[in-house]
A and B are shown apart, each in its own frame.
Chain A
Amino acid sequence: MAEKTSPYGFRYIGAKRRTKEDPRFVTGRGRFAADVQLPGMLHVAIVASPYPSARVKAFDTTAALALPGVRYVLTGAELCAAIDPMYVGVDAPKVKRYPLADGLVRYAGEWVAAVVAETRAIAEDAVELIEVDFEPQPHVVDPEVAVRADSVKVHPEHGSNVLFHRKFVWGDVDGAFARADHRLAFRARWGRSATVPIETFVAVAQWDAGNEILDIWASIQMPKYPDQVARALRLPGNAVRVHFDVDVGGSYGVKRGIKHTLLVAYLARKLGAPVRFLEDRLENMRGGDMHGPDRIFDMQVAFDQDGTIRAWKIKALDDVGAYAGRSPLQLGKPVSAICGPYRIPAVEYEPTSVMTHKTPQEAVRGFGQAPTNFAMECTIDRVARHLRMDRLVLRRKNLIRKDEFPYRIPSGTTYDSGDYHAVLDKALAAANYDELLHRRDEARRAGRLAGIGVSTCLEPSGGNSSFEPLFNPKNETTTWMDSCLVRVDLTGAITGVFGTSSAGQGHQTLVATVLGEVFERDPAGIRVIHADSLNALPSNSPVGSRMAIMLGGAAAGAARQIKETLIAIGAHNLGVGVDGVTYRDGDVFATIHPEKRLTWDQLVEIAHRKYHRMPPGVEPGLQAKFVWEVPTGGTMPTEDGQVQMYPCYSFESHVVYVEIDPDTGKPVLQRYVVGHDCGVMINPDIVHGMTYGGVAHGIGAALYEKFAFSDDGQLLSGTFMDYLIPSALEVPEIRIVDHCTPSPLTTFGQKGSGEAGYLGGPAAIACAINDALDPLGTEIAETPMSHLALWTLIRDARVKPQLKDAA
């Protein structure tokens, strides 16, 4: 592959270069948690509840234990007495959650017992032999019923199904609504979908009795995972060693898996043998606790005749299912971009997190931002339709202008930088928008339903978790640091070390590129490793679209310290001051006498061997750590809930063309363009790869994917026969056009991009479908926009024809 030079004037950053990770994946040499094979390892299979709500009265495990090869059957009673409950993200201490039900089952598919056997097949055979006496209890699956005081309670001890509720008012919302020319109200609904990585959850645990250390290999992407595991197991943190050097086969948020880990960790210690649990797909989709947000938005917007949006009110009811981990906080992230990319001076936000008897919710790409962006963009298009105003004119009028940054939004966050108009224009140009309008109108004249959707959406990045103190007064989290350790060994080779796992984000490429940039050394020769949790520096894991900013900044900080040491060594040995030397390509020379020079190898040799040639007071060896605090972090929320939440704001504008078969309701995406600005891209291939994946994910959420439940609490789409993810044949050719507005807050101007494509995709697809439906006088604001839903709307609209000009 030809290496292209950086468009930003850097040496390596932004240049098109082969990634560190791809060769091992392409050649089948990845090492995943399921590849960890330990001598004597035992395997787990799960007994799950068929009822959404039931008391577990008794088990009969006799036949299972009699099966040759079965080693143990663990039930909730034993486990819940031996460990502490798992972490809850809000102030709800009585919402207790254990890996196995604590006697009361709260969703169909919840684990009630675990069988341990010599093989997984034997464990599965034994599961069938276990008889469980369940006593069914009343259940609630409708969040609007669950939220009522008289509802059946999922956790009776908590006294309510509401985990979190608050009404935030920022600015003169009522005044704006009173004074505006127009007001609109509608309901938008985001269906329960998620991501379903190819790799299901895997956890392997081994108790090292000699050293009293628990070793864990797991497929995870989870903030403070070692700490959470240690606390629940009542172990000191230094007795848990998480091996982060396993490849994670996709996550996109959902690979949290504390319950899986606690289960195998307890069993490994109890049985004195390594224990593995590798979920199968059925276990994963129903009991893996990986469903995403499931939201009802009641939107109100106040605007003037000229299109100026004065205020909006967002009421969001999120159904998190049966337990709370970090899921309620997914209503918190949108506070960081509560007016979207628009100049909206007054906002009311009323989030409610409610529990039902369904599979628990977990983080999904964007942490609640994609549903919110969807609701906001549906709002913008409705305003345009109400005013019969061009959607682009309306957007351009309300988008924050590039000369207004840094821009403080009503909820207290300041957006760092952007040029939204430029990105929108680039996307429209790449989509050949005028030709697309012509094509749409031709299609309409031919009797087809055709529409164009445009979205303009933000990706808050640099995850700072400031929603934790905002949503939980007992939580005073104001830092979400990340770190990097860099060393240059005696051979002159550079190694970067960090303390978390990677799920395809390319962190090794990221760190190597940054170190290469600072040291002016070829990243191809730089090794980057994942330390285990006892060797690592603090990390908050690759969530919240943060690693380019946080790990990139930490790596640069550590490298600069070493570079300063090298400069000091050079200056000292050349007999000039540090101001009189120049560092280039790893060598240090006297600036006015470049022939007086120490090479990289000579400098390294001095640092490692020749203390007599070291400048006084400089530590020998070449090693440095850098812990980076999130830029703009460090403050608690104000009384009225204002807080600086994320430092950097990436922006994307999607342009989508869709045609819908009016007789069948089938939508087909025929053109797809994304304009994208995430500041300086460290590695463009990685950014584009994540964006392609994000777009595909967004197409799934918009059109196909839903974890549907029946009224009796059963998951109706628990296999890939019914939970439909888009295949390569449903994803059209995607064109990405880049734009770069550097962030002034980060080391190289980079912003986050891990959620790109997903955050603006469903919004744009909804806008396109609503444009297609517009001539029929009908509209949709609910995902997934299924064939059935679209056909039903079309049929109903034809029954009550509202003739409109199709042009």
Chain B
Amino acid sequence: MRANEHLRLTYFPLHPMKSATFQYAKADSIPHACALLCEYGVDAKLLAGGQSLVPMMAMRLARPAWLINVNEIDELKTSARRSGADGEVWVTGAGVRQIDLERDEAVAAAVPLLRQGLSWVGHVQTKNRGTVGGSLVHADPSAELPLVAHTLGARCVLRRADVERSVEANAFFIAPMITATEPDECLTEVHWPIWRRERVGSAFDEVSIRHGDFAIVAACAQVELDHAGRCVRAALGIGGAASTPVALDAIARSLHGTALDPTTVDAALRSIGDHLDPASDVHATAEYRIHLARVLAARVIRQARADALSPPHRGPQ
């Protein structure tokens, strides 16, 4: 589903809590969903888990003329390892429930950041319904799955009628609730890169006010170390501190060749604010968010390094 309006308005609207009138259709297959999207386009929204869309409709922040239910499309529920041009990836269908992804041991071994990130997502009840694709296209800047996708450089597969294209995460997330998905496109798959090496470690951390709240700031990191303990590859991302998740590629690259010791990491993170553009709201100022980004980035790098070094090795296989 695409959500082009922002749920978290500073001044919530005057709208009441029963949705505006809409038409309903159930799609049986991806082609069927695409056909419905071609027909209704900007007037339609896809309904997956509904954990964000339905409240937005209740508050009439989202008012689709058509609601297209994609919950019963089996093709959207695949989850498998695949080798392709980009190397090895874990492919999840857009309709995979977050709880299933979190509890999948093979996923946890291949892309450990997914389980680490999902442990911070909402509550068991919301994860029972919420889907992988739903979270990505909702594109809340502080949500966990978009951050993992952006940090690892996941690819999002979009289908329009018979045409398929693949968009890398850094081009997929455009603004809060806005992605590269066109009105007649359906997100079908997400390809999560697998770092198939020894001595790979990862970590996810965030500060939210209560358990399960959207993060004030979230951070995740994945590192690969050589046998001397030096970093040969790193990925670092921050959520909640700009209009989209931010992958701090330059900072990550600057860590290559280092032992990820605290002094080096702190120095690399000193200018983290230059890469962020956080907003201020009733719970956090921009200054606080930048501070949290620095603190959490240091923590996830430290934890990812420890993870990479920890026996028995728990990194991706």
Contact = CB atoms under 8 A, between A and B. Distances in A.
Interface in B202-222: 207, 209-214, 216
Given A124-B16, A280-B17, A729 B210 contact: yes
Interface stretch (A346-354, A592-600, A626-634, A710-718): A710-718
Interface in A608-664: 663-664
B285 A788 contact: yes
Interface string B211-252: 111101000000000000000000000000000000000000
B282 A48 contact: no
Contacts of A718: 12
A787 B283 contact: yes
B211 A727 contact: yes
Contacts of A791: 288, 291
A281 interface: yes
A120 B18 contact: yes
Contacts of A786: 209, 283
B216 A724 contact: no
A727 B288 contact: no
A128 B8 contact: no
A282 interface: yes
Contacts of A281: 17
A399 B185 CA distance: 71
A454 interface: no
B279 interface: no
A671 to B, nearest CB: 18
A198 to B, nearest CB: 15
Interface in A748-807: 786-788, 791-792, 795
Given A282-B16, A664-B292, A708-B282, A730 B10 contact: no
B207 A787 contact: yes
B17 A282 contact: yes
Given A704-B210, A727-B212, A788-B284, A719 B12 contact: yes
Contact of A716 (B10, B14, B209): B10
Interface string B178-205: 0000000000000000000000000000
Given A282-B16, A708-B282, A721 B7 contact: yes
A359 to B, nearest CB: 13
Contact of A282 (B21, B59, B216): B59
A202 to B, nearest CB: 14
Contacts of B284: 787-788
B20 interface: yes
A45 B12 CA distance: 17
B295 interface: yes
Contacts of A174: none
A125 to B, nearest CB: 7
A663 B295 contact: yes
A787 B8 contact: no
A722 B211 CA distance: 14
Interface in A653-691: 663-664, 666
A760 B16 CA distance: 37
Given A726-B210, A729-B211, A730-B210, A282 B12 contact: yes
B15 interface: yes
Contacts of B285: 788
A128 B15 contact: yes
Given A663-B295, A787-B283, A788-B285, A48 B212 contact: no
Contacts of B207: 664, 666, 787
Contacts of B295: 663-664
A721 B281 CA distance: 12
Given A708-B282, A717-B282, A724 B17 contact: no
Contacts of B211: 727, 729-730
A260 to B, nearest CB: 15
Interface string B275-300: 00000011111001001100100000
B20 A125 contact: yes
Nearest to B211: A729
Nearest to A723: B282
B296 to A, nearest CB: 8
A127 interface: yes
B9 to A, nearest CB: 9
A171 interface: no
Of listed A664, A710, A718, residue having the most chain B CB within 10 A: A664
A717 B283 CA distance: 10
A708 to B, nearest CB: 5
Interface in A22-61: 45-46, 48, 50
A121 B18 contact: yes
A280 B212 contact: no
A120 B15 CA distance: 13
B21 A125 contact: yes
A724 B14 contact: no
Interface in B13-30: 14-18, 20-21
Contacts of A722: 282-283
Given A664-B295, A717-B282, A283 B16 contact: yes
Contacts of A120: 18
A714 B9 CA distance: 12
Contacts of A664: 207, 292, 295
Contacts of B12: 282, 715, 718-719
Nearest to A703: B209
Contact of A724 (B10, B11, B59, B210): B210
A716 B282 CA distance: 7
A94 to B, nearest CB: 29
A584 B47 CA distance: 68
B10 to A, nearest CB: 7
A281 B15 CA distance: 11
A710 B281 CA distance: 10
B222 to A, nearest CB: 22
Of listed B17, B59, B213, B214, residue having the most chain A CB within 10 A: B17
A280 B14 CA distance: 12
Nearest to B8: A721
A45 B14 CA distance: 11
Contacts of B209: 704, 724, 786-787
B210 A714 contact: no
B292 A727 contact: no
B241 to A, nearest CB: 14
Contacts of A719: 12
B268 to A, nearest CB: 17
Contacts of B10: 710, 714, 716
A795 B60 CA distance: 41
Contacts of B288: 788, 791-792
B218 to A, nearest CB: 12
Contact of B213 (A124, A717, A724, A788): A724
Interface string B245-267: 00000000000000000000000
B212 A787 contact: no
A215 to B, nearest CB: 26
Nearest to A46: B16
Nearest to A708: B282
A703 to B, nearest CB: 9
Contacts of B11: 710, 714, 716
Contacts of B16: 45-46, 124, 127, 280, 282-283
Interface of A: 45-46, 48, 50, 120-121, 124-125, 127-128, 280-283, 663-664, 666, 704, 706, 708, 710, 714-719, 721-722, 724, 726-727, 729-730, 786-788, 791-792, 795
Given A721-B8, A729-B211, 10 more contacts: A125-B21, A280-B18, A664-B292, A666-B207, A708-B282, A710-B10, A715-B12, A727-B211, A786-B209, A787-B209
30 contacts: A45-B16, A46-B16, A50-B14, A124-B17, A124-B18, A125-B21, A280-B17, A283-B16, A664-B207, A664-B295, A704-B209, A704-B210, A714-B11, A716-B11, A716-B282, A717-B282, A719-B12, A722-B282, A722-B283, A724-B213, A726-B210, A727-B211, A730-B211, A787-B207, A787-B209, A788-B283, A788-B284, A788-B285, A788-B288, A791-B291
What 4 A-B pairs are tightest by C-beta distance, nearest first? Answer: A280-B17, A729-B211, A124-B16, A121-B18
